[in-house]
Structure 1
Amino acid sequence: MERGRRKVRVGRVVSDKMDKTVVVAVETLVRHPLYQRTVRRTKKVKAHDAENTCRVGDKVRIMECRPLSKEKRWRVVEIIERGKRFDVVPAVAEEISDNG
């Protein structure tokens, strides 16, 4: 899977609205230089998903690749864990629309 010095990251899919592209939030832990406290940093990157298999909430492994478009420089290597899909229950949706 590792090809030379290509970076590999793990993150969560936060958007899958584009065709063959997903937005992945990658978290890193960084030590604050003055206060020596560990701070969580989140960066959102666009990754190529050739088969459109990723969904919002999925935990994915992405690998750096050549530029595929103006903002896409990563591709999805594998889906580590499927995210939970929450569907609206029809009875609850009717109650909300009746009360609202």
Structure 2
Amino acid sequence: MAEKKAAAHGEHDVRDASARGYRKARRGYVVSDKMDKTIVVEVEDRVKHALYGKVIRVTSKVKAHDEDNTAGIGDLVLINETRPLSATKRWRLVEILEKAK
């Protein structure tokens, strides 16, 4: 009974996360907000070159779900991996860390 109340108030049990699996979180900048309830976020990853050891910046663009259309171009946002929401959307906007000036 107590477990049901905790889940209803947004508190998650440790077993829920392990059953669902680990979900990735990424930070990135919004590069497009032209679609309804969707933003395009440019995510940067730094990887070390296998042979030469130089750190290389690798960027990728992902589509994220923005329910309230709150994010704008240039905003620094935090996105979380989620279930597939459409053919190309696999991420959800968690919060806007910094608004564009």
Task: Give the shorter-chain TM-score range.
Answer: 0.7 to 0.9
Structure 1 unmatched runs, 5+: 85-100
Residue number in structure 2 paired with 1:22: 39
SS in 2 for 1:39: strand
Of the two, which has the highest radius of gyration?
A: 1
For normalisation by structure 2, the TM-score amounts to 0.79
Q: Where do 5+ consecutive residues of structure 2 fail to align?
A: 1-11
TM-score normalised by structure 1 residue count: 0.80
**Off by >4 Å, runs of 4+ in structure 1:** none
2: CA distance between counterparts of 1:39 and 1:66?
30
**Residue in structure 2 matching 1:11, options 28, 37, 49:** 28
Residue identity in the other structure for 1:56: I
Identity %: 59
* RMSD, aligned α-carbons: 1.7
Aligned residues: 84
Q: Which residue of 2 aligns with 1:42?
A: 59
